[in-house]
Structure 1
Amino acid sequence: MTADVPPGTAAPRATDRPGDQSPFALGLLLRRAHWRAQTVMTEALRPLGIELRHFSVLIVLVNQGPTVQRDLAAATGTDKAGVMRVVDDLERKGLAVRKAVPGDRRVRAVEITAQGMELFDMAHAAAEPQVGRLVAGLRAGEAEQLTDLLTRFAHPAGESARPAGEEDAV
């Protein structure tokens, strides 16, 4: 029992239902929201022949330019072996290439190709109607409010790095 719970009563239990007052409620809601968004975005990417794990690497390459695999792993919250498999897939599809890094012949930087950029843009077009499905139950202005709140929650002032081991799919 915690000090906040009156004697003789149990602490609220996490139920994953609307109105849950447990200390886990926010985390459970965020997990459920992530699953829902992941499902919808996976549907948008499927016709393009890629998965969210591929798209998350493409996002890093677009934002950062050529990136060594070690940094791709850190940026996507994926282990090194997982990133290598994703980069292998992207190379086979012609969406990215590995290039030697001057001064260190053991290290390769991954770079998005012109075909990868084209697919990246197509993915955004494909996702547009899907995002509408995600926010269809919100009132005017609430989608923007939700985005603002989640942005501040995910990127607190003064924090610049993602916690070790954090995984990211979208």
Structure 2
Amino acid sequence: MTADVPHKTTTSRATDRRGDASPFALGLLLRRAHWRAAAVMAEALRPLGIELRHFAVLIVLVDRGPTVQRDLAMTTGSDKAGIMRVVDDLERRGLVVRKAVPGDRRARAVEITPQGVELFDAIHVAAEPLAGRLVAELGPGEPEQLADLLTRFAYPAGGEA
């Protein structure tokens, strides 16, 4: 069975090369930018014995305070089993603790420990020299402009954060 797909021939096919004019170009560029940024972040995290998935949870906990696991999963884009493994890893290292949620015997809130905050701060120190590599090709004021554009793209006015 064939789908009803328009058979219009186009000269603009999706690639991830410079100058791609396809409707997918922006998404592909953002994907490539994410891969590049993630590689630099992973390099900063590696000597500290932590992975991006762990750091994502620490970011949420520093930002929001104690957070139930289901909300951590949603916020970090993880699934229930994945977030449990990440929290288990962090708890074994003494970076987070699980605590009972008053009024809900089944829920557990995850809270960052002082050691977790210390590691979180150390990660930022370790990332500082590497972060400059991400924007090395940009001119004066362009890193700030890029951050502003990406912020407005990621958090549209009136949209969900």
TM-score range, shorter chain: over 0.9
**Map of 2:151 onto structure 1:** 151
Which stretches in structure 1 are left out of the alignment for 5+ residues?
Answer: 162-170
Q: Is it true that 1:74 corresponds to 2:74 in the alignment?
A: yes
TM-score, structure 1 normalization: 0.88
* 3-state secondary structure, aligned to 1:140: coil
What CA distance in whole angstroms lies between the structure 1 residues aligned with 2:130 and 2:154?
22
Counterpart secondary structure, 1:146: helix
Superposition pairs for residues 97-136 of structure 1, below 5 Å?
97-136=97-136
- Rounded to whole Å, the distance in 2 between the matches of 1:160 and 1:122 is 31
CA RMSD of aligned residues (A): 1.4
Which residue of structure 2 lines up, in the alignment, with residue 24 of structure 1? Answer: 24
CA distance in 1: counterparts of 2:158 and 2:66, whole angstroms: 26
C-alpha distance in structure 1 between counterparts of 2:120 and 2:56, whole Å:
10
CA distance in 2 between partners of 1:56 and 1:83 (Å): 10
SS in 2 for 1:106: strand
**CA shift for structure 1 position 19:** 0.5
3-state secondary structure, aligned to 2:136: coil
Q: Structure 1 segments of 4 or more deviating over 2 A?
A: none
Whole-Å Cα distance in 2 between the matches of residues 115 and 60 of structure 1? 16
Higher relative contact order (CA 8 A, sep 6+): 1
Shift of 1:10: 2.1
Aligned to 1:36: 36
- Residue 83 of structure 2: aligned partner: 83
Name the aligned partner's letter for residue 119 of structure 2: L
Amino acid at match of 2:141: G
Secondary structure at the residue paired with 1:107? strand
Q: Which amino acid letter does the alignment assign opposite residue 72 of structure 1?
A: L
Identity %: 77
Query: What is the match of residue 52 of structure 1?
Result: 52
* Structure-2 residue corresponding to 1:62: 62
> What TM-score do you get using the length of structure 2 for normalisation?
0.93
Q: Give the CA deviation at 1:119.
A: 0.1
* Structure 2 counterpart SS, 1:21: coil
Return the letter of the residue paired with 1:60. V
Distance (Å, rounded) in 1 between the aligned partners of 2:77 and 2:10: 36
Unaligned runs of 5+ in 2: none
* C-alpha separation in 2, matches of 1:22 and 1:102: 52
- What code does the residue aligned with 2:118 have? E
In 2, the alpha carbon distance for the partners of 1:157 and 1:74 equals: 21
In the alignment, the residues of structure 2 paired with residue 26 and residue 36 of structure 1 have an alpha-carbon distance, to the nearest angstrom, of: 15
Structure 2 SS opposite 1:100: strand
